[in-house]
Structure 1
C-alpha cells in the first residue's frame, strides 16, 4: 500500500487534496491515483477504493452521513436499506456536481466524525420514514443503549415545526424491549390499526417452562410471533419451536406466527387475523367455510 493510501486510511478512507498535500507531495498523490491505490470521488477529494460508500459520498459533497445511512453506520436496525447514501449539507451549501450520487438534505446538525450523532439520526429517521421503519431504527437505538429514552423524548419535545407532533408520538412509542426490526414492524401494524394491549417480549414461565413471546396481550393470552427464517432453519430449531409451541398452548396461550412476507407485504391480512383472534372482528362466511 502506498504512503498516500496509508494516510487516507488514517483519515477514515477519504480526504481532500489539501489535507493530503499538507503532508506529502503532489507527485506522490498523482502516482497513487495512477496506480489505483486511491480514487478521485470529486474535484479535490480522494478516497480508498474500499472506503465506506456513505462516508465517501458525504465527503465528496462536503457534507455528513445522515438519516438511514447514519442509522446503518451506528448499527441500528434498518428494514429497507437506502438505495443511495443520505447526506446532509449545511444550509446554503451548493451540491457539488462532481460528487457521488446521493440523497441530499440541508440542515445544521450535530455530528461525530462526519456522521450525525445517534440522537439526531433517530430524530431524522422518525421525521422522514413510515412508522414501521422509524420504529425499527428507534427501537434498536434504545436497545443498543446508543440513545436514552428520556433523552429522545426531551429532544422530540424541543422540536418546533409541522412534524413535531408525529416525532413526539413515535418517540413515545419507541421501546428497547423489541428484539428485531421485524418485531418493530409488526408492532407498527398494530399501532396503526388501533389494536392496543400488546406488550413486547412478554415472559411466560413456571417451575417447568419458560418462554418469551415477541408481542403478547396478557389479558387475552394471545401472543404474536415475528418469525424470521434464520431462527427456524434447522432440525434442532424445529424441535425446540415445537416444544415451545406446545408449552405455551397447554398453558392457555394462543400464538399467531407471521413471516417477514406477511408483515411487510400483507399487513392488512395480519391485522385482520389479529382482530379475529382478539374477538374484535367476526369471521366472514367465506372464512368460516375455509376454516
Structure 2
C-alpha cells in the first residue's frame, strides 16, 4: 500500500489505474483503496485523500488544469482564487458524468505540461475570461516572476485567431513586469479603463538625501499613487517610516494618493474619479478592455 501512496505522491496526488499498474500490483491498489489511503475520483482514476483538487479534477475528467487553477499551479498571483478548479478538455471529449470532482469545464486544444496548460497559454486564457484588473494582475505577476517571457507572450498573442483576439493582444501589450503586487496591477487597470494616461509602475524618486519608489507615478505631473494592502503599517516602526516617507515626498513636490484594498477592489469608480480630479483628466470608459 505504501508503494501506491508513493507513486501517487510523485504524480502530484493522482493517476489512472493503467499508470499505477505499470509500477504496482492491482491487489496493492485495491488494498490501498479499502484502507482509505487512496480514493477513486472517477472510473479508473485514483487520488490521495488530500491530493491537489485541481489536478485530481483534471485527471478525473481526462483533461488538464487550466485558467486560474493553472495560474495558481505555476505560482502566478491572483486577486481572487477560484472557488472550484478549472479544467480544459479536448474539443471532442465528452464530460465524464461519473467523476466525483466538481470543476468548471472548458473545451479547447490547449498545450500543456504535466497535465497543466503551459504558462503562456494560462496567461492568455485568463486574459480571455477575466475582467481587466484580474487579467492584468496575472499577466503582470507572470512577467515579474519571470514565469513567462514578454517577447514569447506577445508572439503567442499575435498568433491568436478567433473571438477576443484583439482584446487579448491589447491586454498583453499593457502587461508590465515592473508591477510588484496584484493590488498595484488592479490600480493600474482602473486608470487604463478610465482613460487616465501618464502613470507607470515603480517610479523612483531619488536625490542625495532621499530615495523612494512609488507604486505608480506620473513623472510630469509629479503625482504618485500607492496601493496599500493588508500588511501595510504592520508595525509601529513601519508606520513611522511611512509617515517620514510621505513628508519627504511632499517636500519634493510630489502629491501622493493612497488607496486601500477595499478602495481598489470594491470602489473603482471613486478611485478613478479621485485620480482624474487631481490630474485634471476626465475619466472615460475603455470598453475594448472589458471582459466579453
Q: TM-score range by the shorter chain?
A: over 0.9
TM-score scaled by length of structure 2: 0.94
Partner SS for 1:32? helix
Pairwise CA distance, 1:231: 2.9
- Counterparts in 2 of 1:245-264, with a 5 A limit? 245-264=246-265
Partner SS for 1:229? coil
Pairwise CA distance, 1:21: 2.3
Aligned position for 1:60: 60
Pairwise CA distance, 1:204: 0.1
- Counterparts in 2 of 1:1-291, with a 5 A limit? 2-99=2-99, 100-280=101-281
Tell me the alpha carbon deviations over residues 222-279 of structure 1, each in whole angstroms, 9 at most, x when there is no partner: 1000000213221011011011101101000010000000001011110111011112
Q: Measure the CA separation in 1 of the matches of 2:212 and 2:131.
A: 31
Greater than 4 Å deviation, 4+ residue runs: none
Q: Measure the CA separation in 2 of the matches of 1:91 and 1:229.
A: 42
Which runs of 5 or more residues in structure 2 are unaligned?
A: 283-292
Tell me the alpha carbon deviations over residues 144-192 of structure 1, each in whole angstroms, 9 at most, x when there is no partner: 1111111111111111112111011000000000000000000000000
Partner SS for 1:18? helix
- Contact kept? 2:196, 2:281, Cα under 8 Å: no
Report how many aligned residue pairs link the two structures.
Answer: 282
Higher relative contact order (CA 8 A, sep 6+): 2
Q: Measure the CA separation in 1 of the matches of 2:278 and 2:218.
A: 11
Q: Measure the CA separation in 1 of the matches of 2:109 and 2:280.
A: 49
Partner SS for 1:231? coil
Tell me the alpha carbon deviations over residues 94-153 of structure 1, each in whole angstroms, 9 at most, x when there is no partner: 111122110011111111111011111001011111100100010000111111111111
Aligned position for 1:289: none
Pairwise CA distance, 1:280: 3.2
Q: Measure the CA separation in 1 of the matches of 2:194 and 2:133.
A: 13
Aligned position for 2:286: none
Partner SS for 1:6? helix
